[in-house]
Structure 1
């Protein structure tokens, strides 16, 4: 069986015989030894701009990162484009293939892309400030990519209409949820696909999914779409498990995390700098800032740094009983298995219908 550490160690062997004309064989890069302010000054001299492509399904999802970065570093501009990671990566491939790279940094859910890009010589090795504090499972040994922060899916429901808490996935089969569930197409999002894979393995196979279909859920595109409709549908839709709203949501939401081993999805949203990035110093500043204690502690949720405690009420991510944060990378690396599972769901519920969630105004 492929090791769960696959994503973050496989590429080291793959690139050992690849020649980079700038870096040579078996290149090694030291951890950043400049201060954050020294990197900041270098980024200003370079032009004061950094362009980030970030995975997501709402255009404004990274507005808080843009605001925090630009406030922390006056004179810098962070241009952020949010789109589904599976669309970002094909456009990055096109830029690499044509030699027309205009993006500096990427932060994507498609974890299988990073070893491939590394083996192609398309990434700039960089070990940002905070590198030594990263969990080793969240960083490429040669510094070509590393985790930015941990994302996860959670059970959530509208407390105005659901009075009995949801604890485990069987709870979604309660009669009160017939015609009330709103779920993201698993054949449209690999992290949602992985969630269904975990649930069905935990619940004993496909029988649970057949029972879920009998609940007549509404299927939508985008992991953020269920939250919007649960909030604004006046009780038409009341619960979901395909996505997240954070671990301490505001009313009317409540959340829960299943406690059975390896039952819910979590992963390190992973970032890298493109080798031909037009603003490498700006990208280095961004990466060092994202890994800083300042940003990691303020962001909420689980950190990729081992020296930062879990969010209030939760242990650190590797001590959470209901998830194995290394498993998603293993799942994503086996593209043949992913495709087989995707087509199983497409056969059951049809292809994903509707506009991309970034285009759909609901």
Structure 2
């Protein structure tokens, strides 16, 4: 569904509400770095970083599909801007697999060792507890909400969205509007997840959202597992990890997916097939992803430069073009640096009014519970 135009004032007020909510959980403020945001023509410390990164000559990423948050443009812009090669590992890896890639390559400086990762919010403490991340504060550090970054710079939020239904309208004639609809016989063999719920943050958040829509809470995800058990028992659940290709072919015509991923598919497919993106009437959950540099990064300077690029205005706008709300959105809005056409393409702010943001502790508890109980409650192997 095409997002209707909204006034800048309405978006501003809505965003203030969101920021006020996030600020309520804020911790002790961190000291600001001295280097200002940059978009080119770097000097001083950042120029030294650019030189060191160019000397390394390569950055290794993992789990960055080009249609996820417009990462394709981000990667190509970074390569062009700095002349650094980007080695892309397993674009479809889950958050858990990204972390395992760091662990498996601790002693390696070869091409299978990732420099940087982009994982679900709940994985932040694990990175610190297991000493898998390298601390680094980007020059725009002060404009990242306090409660969405580790105080010592081990990880920091990058973007957020809400869980939505991505629907292939060429296959699905009655577009579902809420979770209960998907239990109807007309959706037999049509409903899928975009990942393995034992490993994937996106899939786990789908279960979490289903819990909220079916009598659960941020502290009780069991109803979400029961929902998927029922979905499987009535024959509506397809145990296939859904991708743009499976959606387009009609193999997984209804998918639980972050709104920005669904919107990216809609744009990429250009009506063939026609995609509708539905934010459900209940169980609207927001999800934040985070960036981190591997503690064992083979190219640590290139990794730091990648972070500087992503958290600059330029990098944040690239994410916004992909339908993601960049973590520095509020700061950029206040400085009037977001083009009006990008604001107009976002889903209307009122659709986000019911969204809830779990704390990192709630996410960790939910993640563990879902991973440990999916097999015994739902009994469907998603692959």
Same fold (TM over 0.5): yes
TM-score (normalizing by structure 2): 0.69
**1:247 corresponds to:** 263
Q: Distance in 2 between matches of 1:152 and 1:65?
A: 22
**Which runs of 5 or more residues in structure 2 are unaligned?**
1-20, 216-222, 334-342
Q: Does 1:213 align with 2:232?
A: yes
Cα distance per residue 1:14-62 (max 9 Å; x no partner): xxxxxxxxxxxxx978354585523356333441534243335x58864
Relative to structure 2, which stretch is displaced further, 275-284 or 123-132?
275-284
- The number of residues matched between the two structures is 321
**2:197 corresponds to:** 186
Q: Distance in 2 between matches of 1:191 and 1:328?
A: 16
Q: Secondary structure at the match of 2:326?
A: coil
Q: Distance in 2 between matches of 1:268 and 1:321?
A: 16
Contact 2:62 2:117 in 1 (8 A): yes
Q: In the TM superposition, what are the counterparts of 1:246-285 in structure 2 within 5 Å?
A: 246-247=262-263, 249-250=266-267, 251=271, 252-260=274-282, 263-285=283-305
1:79 counterpart (87, 94, 102)? 87
Q: In the TM superposition, what are the counterparts of 1:332-351 in structure 2 within 5 Å?
A: 332-334=363-365, 338-350=367-379
2:312 counterpart (292, 313, 316)? 292
**2:326 corresponds to:** 303
Cα distance per residue 1:292-328 (max 9 Å; x no partner): 11221232321111224567344679x9223234x16
Shift of 1:145: 1.5
TM-score (normalizing by structure 1): 0.73
Q: Secondary structure at the match of 2:293?
A: strand
Q: Secondary structure at the match of 1:187?
A: coil
**1:232 corresponds to:** 249
Q: Distance in 2 between matches of 1:29 and 1:221?
A: 45
Q: Does 1:54 align with 2:62?
A: yes
Q: Distance in 2 between matches of 1:66 and 1:34?
A: 19
Q: Distance in 2 between matches of 1:152 and 1:72?
A: 31
In structure 2, the CA distance between the partners of 1:272 and 1:31, relative to structure 1 (3 Å rule), is farther
**2:360 corresponds to:** 329
Q: In the TM superposition, what are the counterparts of 1:87-98 in structure 2 within 5 Å?
A: 87-96=97-106, 98=107
In structure 2, the CA distance between the partners of 1:99 and 1:127, relative to structure 1 (3 Å rule), is same
Cα distance per residue 1:75-132 (max 9 Å; x no partner): 2222232322212212313444x48698563223254443344355553332213222
In structure 2, the CA distance between the partners of 1:311 and 1:270, relative to structure 1 (3 Å rule), is farther
Q: Distance in 1 between matches of 2:173 and 2:359?
A: 32
Cα distance per residue 1:142-196 (max 9 Å; x no partner): 2222122225432111122334333211221233212222335433424312321
**Which runs of 5 or more residues in structure 1 are unaligned?**
13-26, 355-362
RMSD over aligned CA atoms reads: 3.7
2:142 counterpart (120, 132, 145)? 132
Contact 1:151 1:267 in 2 (8 A): yes
In structure 2, the CA distance between the partners of 1:112 and 1:52, relative to structure 1 (3 Å rule), is farther
